[in-house]
Structure 1
Amino acid sequence: MKIALFALLGLVFGAIGGAALGIGAGLAWIEIFKTTDFEGYSGMLVFFSFMPAGAMIGSLGGAAWFGVMAARDDEIAVETESAAGQERR
Structure 2
Amino acid sequence: MKIAFLAMAGLVMGVVGGATVGIGLGLAWIELFSTSEFEGYAGMLVFFTFMPLGALIGGLGGATLFGMAAFRDHEVAIARRHMPHERG
TM-score w.r.t. length of structure 1 = 0.88
> Does residue 14 in structure 1 map to residue 11 in structure 2?
no
Summarize deviations over 1:13-35 as a string: whole Å, max 9, x none. 00000000000000010001000
Q: How large is the RMSD of aligned CA atoms in angstroms? A: 1.8
Partner of 2:25: 25
> Does residue 84 in structure 1 map to residue 81 in structure 2?
yes
| Superposed counterparts of 1:29-40, under 5 Å | 29-40=29-40
TM-score w.r.t. length of structure 2 = 0.89
Q: Which has the higher helix share?
A: 1
**Following TM superposition, by how much is the alpha carbon of 1:72 offset from its aligned partner in structure 2, in angstroms?**
1.4
Instruction: In structure 2, give the amino acid aligned to 1:11.
Output: L
**Following TM superposition, by how much is the alpha carbon of 1:71 offset from its aligned partner in structure 2, in angstroms?**
1.1
**Following TM superposition, by how much is the alpha carbon of 1:74 offset from its aligned partner in structure 2, in angstroms?**
1.6
Aligned residues: 86
